[in-house]
Amino acid sequence: MPFSTLHTSTDDGVLTVVFDNPPVNVLGATTMRELRDLLLPLREDPSVKVIVFESANPEFFLAHVDMNILDQRDVLEELAAAAPEGVNVFQAVGELLRHQPQVSIVKLAGKARGGGAEFVAAADMAFAATETAGLGQVEALMGITPGGGATQYLRDRVGRNRALEIVLTGQLFDAPTAAAYGWINRAVPAAQLDEYVAEVARTIAALAPGVVAAAKRALPPTDFGSALVVEDEAWASLVGLPAAQQLMAAALEAGAQTPEGERDIESLLRKVSASVLNGQ
């Protein structure tokens, strides 16, 4: 199946998926639809044991959800109609990934923020380059809270206290800190990341038939149920407010979603926030 923002290749039971949505790999409606169209059929494909996600852009894995995503309202409406009951379109991406029968692995060479960081936390495993990778939930700096599963995924992985730190500071966390917190599996020297992830994927894919399925059955993903509804309600209560709309519009005007603006989006958003909120 041809995709416009994903490239795929398969080798000995390992499917590699490369995000490629220039200039900074924002998570837009098209990418979400393509992820759904890729992952759903894979549930019935026993030949694929492992899915490795990486980026064509060495700086950005998935920058964050596209701030212009409402421009794709038709695709969003299609995704909303197909989403499982009790989850929004953003949460549906993470929940689909979390419930794949294959083992999902993120190879994080660059930065993942917002919805991109949520995707990392939804994967079964994540390995990140010590020198160059970073993770951040920047939503609070835009006047909102995470709405794609992060509040629950993070609490499950790092505990409530660290989840609150991540969500409310909007800070970029380097790979060693993310590993120490439990957000990712481990930080790996950048020069060794490709081979390390390839070896993990090959090892899992070479296991005897039934082992991966049995392990995932014995270690099921946490059922967040109504907690995702509460997260969606919290996000929805903020995203339509004038403050959030002004912050996102000002961020785009200041250079968000360009390579220059995204390299230190936290500083850009803090400056925008100070200007917008002080002017109200």
Phi-psi region of 34 (alpha: psi -120 to 50; beta: other; left: phi over 0): alpha
Q: Measure the CA–CA gap between 191 and 166, rounded to whole angstroms.
A: 28
Are the CB atoms for 157 and 125 separated by under 8 Å? Answer: no
Are the CB atoms for 135 and 185 separated by under 8 Å? Answer: no
User: In this model, does residue 280 exceed pLDDT 70?
Assistant: no
User: In this model, does residue 80 exceed pLDDT 80?
Assistant: yes
Nearest to 36 by CA among 99, 86, 107: 99
pTM for the whole structure:
0.97
User: In this model, does residue 212 exceed pLDDT 70?
Assistant: yes
Cα 129 to chain centroid distance, Å, stands at 16
For 242-277, the pLDDT digits (tens) are 999 999 999 999 999 999 999 999 999 999 999 998
Which pLDDT does position 30 carry in this prediction?
97
For 168-208, the pLDDT digits (tens) are 999 999 999 999 999 999 999 999 999 999 999 999 999 99
For 2-16, the pLDDT digits (tens) are 899 999 999 999 999
Residue 131 structure tokens: 């020198």
| First-last CA distance in the chain | 49
Helical H runs in the chain? 29-42, 73-82, 89-98, 115-122, 150-158, 160-169, 175-181, 190-205, 211-218, 226-239, 242-254, 259-263, 265-278
